[in-house]
């Protein structure tokens, strides 16, 4: 078929659509809402995924964490009857026997009251060694001059020094320079030697920046006291790719150390941040797919709307089709005329829908209820939704168009 | 004078149910010379419309042979028939069959769309043909703004744009008053004088009088034929 004829038939289709403006607009609305919903929903899913990923990145993807008890999914740690408490000597043992582990620190955790002058604040106290700066992916805030982490020597000596999280600083030292200040944790006095740079919102877990880090030696003996129990040993492998090897080494060592018989379940757990990040990303993907599929249903409904209107349109214009056939219109001339109408409906609807979806995802956080939701409009979701809407137009437009093209010219001419 | 149409034992049978059939045409053989003006007459249900549809390539015979310009077209595909209708035939119907809410000009241009005539040329031809049927100045009127007679003139102009060999007119005056009917029929006569073969279906004897030959159809067969005017003496009217 000559391109010239295709173009002229395309103009006929456009004219038919502009003749029935109300109907055209309403038919398009189905596609607009469908495409808009797909883009907005997928942008919410993508935003949630990005938020989760950045949280894991802040934790460090090379990280491993050893706890007693068996680990059951992302829900938490189950302390089984057979679980043994972690011993501090494990830190040295892992250092010697697990070559893939680069950094290691014990972690004692407690909450305690912190006092400075007339300020009083309850916060999380973490007893760790000098490696925690790297393992925890912390950065010192050098806007405070002299800000530093505690040294190995200070850890060994049980020095009474501490490093503050950004939020803690804001609470206790709103106006003063904290470096060199003396504060009290429970009854013990500590010197503030450093401030950590903020990691930002954790998204659901509360602030990650409200904490005090101190040498574990000091925390376990002076703050927690006699019943000090090592909760966790954190490690960092050399690289993300050696995390699995490190995990196997630690597991082997721990089964031996805890005398776990072959076939018996582990009474400790080694969590691998990369795995957790991956499974979290996966569940976010499922979430995105779920949102996208729900939105796709409205796109499908929009497509059915197009088919419905096109069928009505064909029936209304049987006489016209007969005339066109009588004067020499070929089957494909009629087919493309009606197919173009459906495609123009869906493509125009799709384009408007992209704008609509974009606007929704950008304006969503102005609604108080959704203020915390981050949205990311990805080009792929735009292409996907647009491609889908074109496909819907072709798919649902084809049947009515084919029906029109297959009419018998005599019957079509006679149709009242 | 060449023979442009030759029908050989044309039958058109519609199955109604597994054992009942309607024999709309029951073996028609006929020949039409180029430049002829033929009126097909007969009561309703006689099969004259079916004959008209087969002659105009809108329908295919169940059996028999249809030679058009010497070629057997009885087994032509839908596509081939559409091309033939576009290039060789013009149609004028009782109910005009114009596109509604569309200008006279666009209606007349329609067959040229499917003949791939460039738009500029098509527009020019449409103006010419509309002037020829006496509608100069009415080109941009929409079909719902003009009278029945004018609509039929638009239809005639449309039938002529691709320079057809045969003009098929199915009760062209059926919806017109007698004065307009005379105008339309004289238009046909003048077209015939220019050499276009005209096949006219009618049940009105005074309309059939414009033709050179008259055939009567009854029960799907040609009942009789009268030559009302000798072709060789054409133009003496």
CB atoms B58 and A409 under 8 Å: yes
Note the pLDDT tens digit of each residue in B175-204: 899 999 999 999 999 999 999 999 999 988
Note the pLDDT tens digit of each residue in A84-135: 788 889 999 999 999 999 999 999 999 999 999 888 999 999 999 999 998 8
pLDDT at position A381 is 83
pLDDT confidence tier of residue A203, bands split at 50, 70 and 90: very low
Residue A70: inside a domain, yes or no? no
CB atoms A328 and B83 under 8 Å: yes
Nearest CA distance, A320 vs chain B (angstrom): 6
Note the pLDDT tens digit of each residue in B45-55: 888 989 999 99
Give the number of other Cβ atoms within 10 Å of residue A158's Cβ.
Answer: 16
Is B14 part of the contact surface with chain A (CB cutoff 8 Å)? no
Interface of B with A in 163-202 (CB under 8 A): none
Residue A199, helix vs strand vs coil: coil
Half-sphere exposure of B40 (CA within 13 A, CB side): 27
Range B130-134 average pLDDT: 94
Chain A interface mutation, best of B82, B98, B115, B143, highest count of A Cβ atoms under 10 Å:
B82
Q: Looking at the structure, tell me whether residues A261 and A320 fall in a common domain.
A: no
CB atoms B97 and A413 under 8 Å: yes
- Which of B79, B91, B113 is nearest residue A326 as measured by Cβ atoms? B91
DSSP annotation of A208: S
Residue A8: inside a domain, yes or no? yes
Determine contact, residues A61/A240, Cβ cutoff 8 Å. yes
Chain B interface mutation, best of A1, A5, A323, A407, highest count of B Cβ atoms under 10 Å:
A323
Note the pLDDT tens digit of each residue in A248-295: 999 999 988 888 888 888 888 888 877 777 778 888 888 888 988 888
Chain A residues within 8 A of B156 when measuring between CB atoms: none
CB atoms B53 and A5 under 8 Å: no
3-state SS track over chain B: CCEEEEEEEEEEEEECCCCCEEEEEEEEEEEEECCCEEEEECCCCCCHHHHHHHHCCCCCCCEEEEEECCEECCCCCHHHHHHHHHHHEEEEECCCCCCCCCEHHHHHHHHHHCCCCCHHHHHHHHHHHHHHCCCCCCCCCEHHHCCHHHHHHHHHHHHHCCCCCEEEEECCCCCCCHHHHHHHHHHHHHHHHCCCEEEEECCCHHHHCCCCEEEEEECCEEEEEEECCCHHHCCCC
pLDDT confidence tier of residue B237, bands split at 50, 70 and 90: very low
CB atoms A410 and B113 under 8 Å: no
CB atoms B114 and A324 under 8 Å: yes
Q: Looking at the structure, tell me whether residues A107 and A144 fall in a common domain.
A: yes
Q: Looking at the structure, tell me whether residues A171 and A313 fall in a common domain.
A: no
Q: Looking at the structure, tell me whether residues A121 and A92 fall in a common domain.
A: yes
Cα–Cα distance, B14 to A324 (Å, whole number): 25
Q: Looking at the structure, tell me whether residues A305 and A355 fall in a common domain.
A: yes
- Which of B82, B97, B99 is nearest residue A328 as measured by Cβ atoms? B82
Q: Looking at the structure, tell me whether residues A247 and A112 fall in a common domain.
A: yes
Nearest CA distance, B111 vs chain A (angstrom): 5
Mean pLDDT of chain A: 87
A78 beta partners? A70
**Domains in chain B and their CATH numbers?**
34-60+82-233 (3.40.50.300)
Cα–Cα distance, A44 to A362 (Å, whole number): 10
Chain A residues within 8 A of B78 when measuring between CB atoms: 331
Closest CA to A335 of A400, A402, A408: A402
Chain B residues within 8 A of A328 when measuring between CB atoms: 82-83, 85-87, 111, 114-115, 162
Look at chain A and report how many structural domains it folds into. Answer: 2
CB atoms B97 and A328 under 8 Å: no
Is B97 part of the contact surface with chain A (CB cutoff 8 Å)? yes
Residue A127, helix vs strand vs coil: strand
Q: Which of A206, A235, A266 is the last residue of a domain?
A: A266
Chain A residues within 8 A of B114 when measuring between CB atoms: 5, 324, 327-330, 333
Q: Which residue has the tokens 């809108």?
A: B58
pLDDT of residue A57 exceeding 80, the answer is: no
Q: Residue B67, class by beta-carbon neighbours within 10 Å (0-12 exposed, 13-18 middle, 19+ buried)?
A: middle
Q: Looking at the structure, tell me whether residues A330 and A183 fall in a common domain.
A: no
Residue A312: inside a domain, yes or no? yes
CB atoms B78 and A333 under 8 Å: no
Note the pLDDT tens digit of each residue in A132-178: 998 888 889 888 888 999 999 999 999 999 999 999 999 999 888 99
pLDDT of residue A204 exceeding 50, the answer is: no
Chain A: residues touching B (Cβ < 8 Å): 2, 4-5, 8-9, 19, 319-320, 322-331, 333, 409-410, 413
Q: Looking at the structure, tell me whether residues A306 and A262 fall in a common domain.
A: no
Cα–Cα distance, A396 to A272 (Å, whole number): 49
Residue A288: inside a domain, yes or no? yes
DSSP string, A218-233: HIIIIII-TT--B-EE
Note the pLDDT tens digit of each residue in A297-346: 988 898 999 999 999 999 999 999 999 999 999 999 999 999 999 999 99
Give the range of the structural domain holding residue A402, as residue numbers without chain letter: 3-55+279-414
Q: Which of A221, A243, A266 is the last residue of a domain?
A: A266
What percentage of chain A carries pLDDT values higher than 70? 94
CB atoms A330 and B93 under 8 Å: no
Q: Which of A218, A241, A266 is the last residue of a domain?
A: A266
Residue A271: inside a domain, yes or no? no
Chain A interface mutation, best of B61, B77, B114, highest count of A Cβ atoms under 10 Å:
B114
Q: Looking at the structure, tell me whether residues A314 and A256 fall in a common domain.
A: no
Residue A113: inside a domain, yes or no? yes
Angle at the Cα of A81 (from A75 to A83), degrees rounded to 5?
A: 75
Residue A274: inside a domain, yes or no? no
- Cut 0.90: pTM above it: no
Is B110 part of the contact surface with chain A (CB cutoff 8 Å)? yes
Chain A interface mutation, best of B51, B96, B97, B171, highest count of A Cβ atoms under 10 Å:
B97
- Pairing relationship of beta strands A211-215 and A119-128 according to DSSP bridges: parallel
Closest CA to B50 of A414, A334, A320: A414
Of all residues in chain B, the one with the smallest CA distance to A4 is B116
Chain B residues within 8 A of A326 when measuring between CB atoms: 58, 85, 91, 97
Is B118 part of the contact surface with chain A (CB cutoff 8 Å)? yes
Of all residues in chain B, the one with the smallest CA distance to A406 is B78
Determine contact, residues A215/A59, Cβ cutoff 8 Å. no
Closest CA to A195 of A153, A139, A152: A139
Q: Looking at the structure, tell me whether residues A191 and A301 fall in a common domain.
A: no
Nearest CA distance, A338 vs chain B (angstrom): 16
Range B154-163 average pLDDT: 96
pLDDT at position A82 is 60
Q: Looking at the structure, tell me whether residues A410 and A335 fall in a common domain.
A: yes
Note the pLDDT tens digit of each residue in A366-412: 888 777 778 888 888 888 888 888 898 899 999 999 999 999 999 99
Note the pLDDT tens digit of each residue in B99-122: 988 999 999 999 999 999 999 999
What percentage of chain A carries pLDDT values higher than 90? 50
Q: How many CB pairs under 8 A join A and B?
A: 59
pLDDT at position B233 is 53
Chain A interface mutation, best of B25, B57, B76, B78, highest count of A Cβ atoms under 10 Å:
B78
- Which of A323, A331, A413 is nearest residue B99 as measured by Cβ atoms? A323
Residue A69: inside a domain, yes or no? no
Q: Looking at the structure, tell me whether residues A322 and A239 fall in a common domain.
A: no
pLDDT of residue A78 exceeding 60, the answer is: no
């Amino acid at each position: 078929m000559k391109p010239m004829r295709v173009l002229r038939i395309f103009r006929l289709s456009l004219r038919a659509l502009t003749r029935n403006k109300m109907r055209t607009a309403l038919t398009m609305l189905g596609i607009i809402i469908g495409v808009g919903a797909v883009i907005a929903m997928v942008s919410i899913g993508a935003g949630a995924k990005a938020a989760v990923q950045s949280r894991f990145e802040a934790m460090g993807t090379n990280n491993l964490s050893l706890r007693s008890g068996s680990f059951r999914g992302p829900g938490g740690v189950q302390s089984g009857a057979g679980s043994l408490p972690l011993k501090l000597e494990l830190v040295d043992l892992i250092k010697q026997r697990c070559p893939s582990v680069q950094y290691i620190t014990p972690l004692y955790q407690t909450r305690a009251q912190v006092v400075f002058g007339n300020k009083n604040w309850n916060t999380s106290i973490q007893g760790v060694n000098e490696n925690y700066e790297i393992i925890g992916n912390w950065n010192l805030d050098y806007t405070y001059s002299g800000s530093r982490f505690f040294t190995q020597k200070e850890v060994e000596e049980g020095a009474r020094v501490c490093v503050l999280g950004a939020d803690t600083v804001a609470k206790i030292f709103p106006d003063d320079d904290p470096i060199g200040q003396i504060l009290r944790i429970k009854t013990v006095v500590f010197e503030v030697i450093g401030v950590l740079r903020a990691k930002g919102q954790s998204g659901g877990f509360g602030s990650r920046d409200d904490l005090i880090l101190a040498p574990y030696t000091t925390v376990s003996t002076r703050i927690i006291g006699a019943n000090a129990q090592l909760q966790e040993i954190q490690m960092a492998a050399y690289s993300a790719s050696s995390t699995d090897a490190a995990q196997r080494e630690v597991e082997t060592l721990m089964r031996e150390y805890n005398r776990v018989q072959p076939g018996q379940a582990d009474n400790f757990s080694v969590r691998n941040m990369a795995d957790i990040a991956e499974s979290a990303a996966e569940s976010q993907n499922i979430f995105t797919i779920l949102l996208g599929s729900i939105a796709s249903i409205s796109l499908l409904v929009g497509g059915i709307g197009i088919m419905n209107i096109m069928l009505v349109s064909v029936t209304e214009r049987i006489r016209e089709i007969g005339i066109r056939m009588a004067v020499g219109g070929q089957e494909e001339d009629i087919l493309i005329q009606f197919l173009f109408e459906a495609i123009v409906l869906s493509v125009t609807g799709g384009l408007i829908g992209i704008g609509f979806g974009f606007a929704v995802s950008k304006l969503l956080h102005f609604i108080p209820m959704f203020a915390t939701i981050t949205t990311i409009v990805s080009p792929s979701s735009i292409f996907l939704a647009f491609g889908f809407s074109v496909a819907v137009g072709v798919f649902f437009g084809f049947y009515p168009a084919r029906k029109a093209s297959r009419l018998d010219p005599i019957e079509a001419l006679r149709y009242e | 004078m060449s023979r442009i149409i030759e029908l050989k034992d044309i039958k058109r049978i519609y199955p109604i149910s597994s054992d009942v059939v309607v024999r709309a045409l029951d073996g028609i053989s006929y020949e039409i010379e180029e430049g002829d003006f033929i009126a097909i007459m007969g009561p309703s249900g006689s099969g004259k419309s079916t004959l008209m549809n087969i002659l105009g390539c809108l329908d295919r015979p169940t059996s028999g042979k249809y030679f058009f310009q010497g070629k057997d077209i009885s087994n032509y595909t839908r596509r081939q028939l559409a091309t033939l209708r576009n290039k060789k035939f013009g149609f004028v119907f009782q109910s005009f069959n114009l596109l509604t809410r569309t200008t006279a000009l666009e209606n007349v241009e329609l067959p040229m769309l499917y003949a791939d005539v460039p738009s500029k040329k098509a527009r020019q031809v449409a103006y010419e043909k509309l002037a020829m049927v006496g509608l100069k100045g009415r080109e941009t009127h929409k079909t719902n703004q003009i009278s029945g007679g004018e609509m039929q003139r638009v239809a005639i102009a449309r039938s002529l744009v691709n320079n057809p060999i045969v003009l098929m007119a199915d009760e062209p005056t059926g919806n017109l008053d007698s004065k307009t009917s005379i105008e339309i029929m004289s238009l046909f006569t003048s077209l015939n004088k220019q050499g276009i073969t005209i096949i006219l279906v009618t049940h009105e004897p005074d309309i059939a009088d414009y033709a050179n030959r008259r055939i009567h159809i009854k029960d799907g067969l040609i009942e009789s034929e009268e030559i009302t005017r000798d072709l060789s003496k054409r133009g003496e009217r």
